[in-house]
Amino acid sequence: MFGVVSDLSRWAIPVVLLLVPLIAMIRGVNVFEKFVEGAEDGFATAIKTIPFLVAMLVAISIFRASGALDMVVGILSPVLNRVGFPAEVLPHAIMRPLSGGASLGIATDIIKTHGPDSFIGRLVSTMQGSSDTTFYVLTLYFGSVGISKYRYSIISGLSADFTTLVASVYVAHKLFGPA
């Protein structure tokens, strides 16, 4: 059974990449022209997102460089340690909704310090894989298409982030348990 799944997954993308243009040509679609149109639209979208991306990266850099992140960690650490949440992963938990790159950098530092097979290394890996960059998504994608009224998007996104944070801590404790 595993061999069949492995073979299917190995050939899935090449088959799709062959079939889509082939079916389009059979239907009379000028594949190259449509590809170029799509590339132009994608390039225009990329150019529109640059200001939002730069603004978000500058804000994150200011947040980290100002010492605000360290201050928040210092304030919350004693309370979180009591409920089984290691203070070492708090910077990652704070940064994850803001930036995938920054949170990945923090996760990498944590794993280098504590090791990939440590409880903290496994916890931060679980957190990295189970949460999303809420503010990045809202700023970049909503901003690039001109959505200015987010309504409940921030609340929904942060609620999902908090839920995945709690679930990550719970799962990590159940599966890996602190040493």
pLDDT below 70 — which residues of the chain?
A: 1-2, 178-179
Residue 147 backbone dihedrals phi, psi, to 5 degrees: -85, 120
| Domain residue spans of the chain | 1-48, 67-176
Q: Return the beta strands (E) in 49-153 as ranges.
A: none
User: What is the number of alpha carbons within 13 Å of residue 111 lying toward its C-beta?
Assistant: 16
Q: Give exposure, 16-55, as e/b (b: 16+ Cβ within 10 Å).
A: eeeeeeeeeeeeeeeeeeeeeeeeeeeeeeeeebeebeee
Q: Output the pTM of the full model.
A: 0.67
Q: How many CB atoms lie within 10 A of CB 100?
A: 16
Tokens matching residue 158: 């942060």
Using DSSP's 3-state secondary structure scheme, residue 86 falls into: coil
pLDDT tens digits for range 103-135: 888 899 899 999 999 999 999 999 999 988 888
Residue 179 is predicted with a pLDDT of: 54
